Amino acid sequence: MKERLEALKVEALGELAAVGSQQELNELRIKYLGKKGPLTEILRGMGALSAEERPIIGQVANEVRAAIEAVIDEKQAAYTAAETELRLRAETIDVTLPGRPAPVGAVHPLNKVIQEIEDVFLGMGFTIEEGPEVETDYYNFEALNLPKDHPARDMQDSFYITDEILMRTQTSPMQPRMMERLKGAVPVKFISPGKVYRRDDDDATHSHQFTQIEGLVIDKGIRMSDLKGTLLQFVRELFGAKTEIRLRPSFFPFTEPSVEVDVSCFMCGGEGCRLCKHTGWIEILGAGMVHPRVLEMSGYDPEKVSGFAFGMGPERIAMLKYGVDDIRHFYNNDLRFLRQFAHL
Ligand code: PHE
């Protein structure tokens, strides 16, 4: 029996020495150490041995088992290490590779101009109010002294949704809206930026959707000189301290008198150039003293208070300021265009 054990050991170690894979090692482990293996079988048969033989054979059997186990453990450790090594190598991260830059957004040039304008008026004590783009005929026209058959409605071709509801053609409806909200209280002093819509065919200078910034001031004793002073201060902060303004008579149904406001050309300083079409002046605003009818309709007494209103188009200002020759650039979302403003 002792010879059988020794032979078993030689055979097992021989096979183990030639093992070539984890799979083979598993098979050999079962073959030699498993419940149905020869070693188990031998140990089971020990009952038949004499009392003197039993401990000797038992000891040899344990030694053989230990020897086989030791080699299997050693091989197993090698396989485990090799496998770990392989996995680590596969998962290696090259920390010296440059990172992928995260895309960073930038403020749209139009929004940038709107924010600049807002900052100037905030500094002069105006609040910023926003109103609905889907508007009633009443606020968009009627309350601004444009009754249903008024010819001046043709100045602003409109997108009607029903007879009484339309996409607002201007930010001016915020005038009656705010006056109603304040119920006759003064001062009224706000600007209102937002989108407006007109039935225009899009081209380099027209867009069916564009933006405006409205302004309204109402208080006791507001005069035309307040309008002029406020707008002069505004253009000087936006275009530079040497900027001058010029008021030209104009017409809006909701202001009387009405003016168009030009600024001295910020490119040539008034000498005449391509930007100002050699006039020295650039038109940027419509404005005027609030019409008494408009005050009255929204609950303000024109005998006690007065006010001025103005409206401007940020697209036009942005085009002039940045030398953009097509209004559609602001709406096409062409990143090659937009990226040029990312660092301004
Ligand atoms: N709402 C006028 C327009 O769109 C501009 C304006 C606003 C004029 C306020 C005077 C006062 O043409």
If we measure between CA atoms, which residue out of 11, 121, 139, 146 comes closest to residue 67? Answer: 11
Polymer length of the chain: 344
Q: Is the CB of 218 under 6 A from ligand 1?
A: no
Return mean pLDDT, the chain.
Answer: 92
Of all residues in the chain, what percent carry a pLDDT higher than 70? 100
Chain centroid, CA 200 distance in Å: 29
Both tokens of 126, joined, read 């105006």
Q: Which pLDDT tens digit goes with each residue over 90-138?
A: 999 888 999 899 988 899 999 999 999 999 999 999 999 999 999 999 9
Q: What is the pLDDT of residue 312?
A: 98
If we measure between CA atoms, which residue out of 293, 290, 229 comes closest to residue 261? Answer: 229
Instruction: Kindly report each contact of residues 121-126 with a partner whose C-beta sits within 8 Å and lies 24 or more positions away, as own/partner.
Output: 121/191, 121/215, 121/234, 123/237, 124/230, 124/233, 124/234, 125/189, 126/189, 126/190, 126/191, 126/215, 126/217
> Ligand 1 atom 2: the closest Cα is on which residue?
311
Q: What is the pLDDT of residue 64?
A: 84
What is the mean pLDDT of the segment spanning 212-227? Answer: 98
* pLDDT band at residue 44 using 50, 70 and 90 as cut-offs: confident
Weakest mean pLDDT among 31-45, 110-124, 276-290: 31-45
pLDDT above 80 for 271: yes
Q: Which atom of ligand 1 is nearest to the CA of 313?
A: 4
The answer to whether 4 and 42 are in contact (CB under 8 A) is: yes
Q: What is the pLDDT of residue 15?
A: 82
Q: Which atom of ligand 1 is nearest to the CA of 215?
A: 9
Q: Which pLDDT tens digit goes with each residue over 46-58?
A: 788 888 888 888 8
The DSSP bridge pattern shows strands 127-128 and 255-264 to be unpaired
Q: What is the pLDDT of residue 56?
A: 83
Instruction: Kindly report each contact of residues 192-195 with a partner whose C-beta sits within 8 Å and lies 24 or more positions away, as own/partner.
Output: 192/128, 192/129, 192/130, 192/131, 192/216, 193/114, 193/117, 193/118, 193/128, 193/130, 193/314, 194/130, 194/131, 194/133, 195/133
What is the mean pLDDT of the segment spanning 145-162? Answer: 87
pLDDT above 90 for 7: no
Q: What is the pLDDT of residue 5?
A: 82
* pLDDT band at residue 18 using 50, 70 and 90 as cut-offs: confident
What single-letter amino acid sits at 321?
K
Q: Which CATH architecture has domain 109-341?
A: 2-Layer Sandwich (3.30)
If we measure between CA atoms, which residue out of 64, 68, 66, 60 comes closest to residue 13? Answer: 68
What Å distances lie between residue 112 and 54, 167, 193, 215, 318, CA to CA? Answer: 97, 24, 12, 18, 9
The answer to whether 192 and 171 are in contact (CB under 8 A) is: yes
* pLDDT band at residue 72 using 50, 70 and 90 as cut-offs: confident
The answer to whether 190 and 178 are in contact (CB under 8 A) is: yes
Residue 242 alpha carbon to ligand 1 centre in Å: 26
Q: Which atom of ligand 1 is nearest to the CA of 311?
A: 7
Q: What is the pLDDT of residue 188?
A: 98
Q: What is the pLDDT of residue 68?
A: 85
The answer to whether 134 and 197 are in contact (CB under 8 A) is: no
Q: Pick from 212, 224, 285, 316 the residue to mutate for probing ligand 1's pocket: most ligand atoms within 8 Å of its CB.
A: 212
pLDDT above 80 for 154: no
Q: What is the pLDDT of residue 69?
A: 87
What are the strands of the beta sheet with 245-252, ordered from one edge?
A: 127-128, 188-197, 209-219, 306-312, 281-290, 255-264, 245-252
| Neighbouring C-beta atoms of residue 163, cutoff 10 Å | 8
Annotated binding-site ranges for Mg(2+):
256
What is the mean pLDDT of the segment spanning 195-224? Answer: 95
Q: Is the CB of 211 under 6 A from ligand 1?
A: no
Residue 163 alpha carbon to ligand 1 centre in Å: 23
What is the mean pLDDT of the segment spanning 142-148? Answer: 95
Owner of token pair 């038109």: 283
Bridge partners (DSSP) of residue 307 are 218
Q: What is the pLDDT of residue 30?
A: 86
Q: Pick from 156, 158, 172, 218 the residue to mutate for probing ligand 1's pocket: most ligand atoms within 8 Å of its CB.
A: 172
Q: What is the pLDDT of residue 46?
A: 79
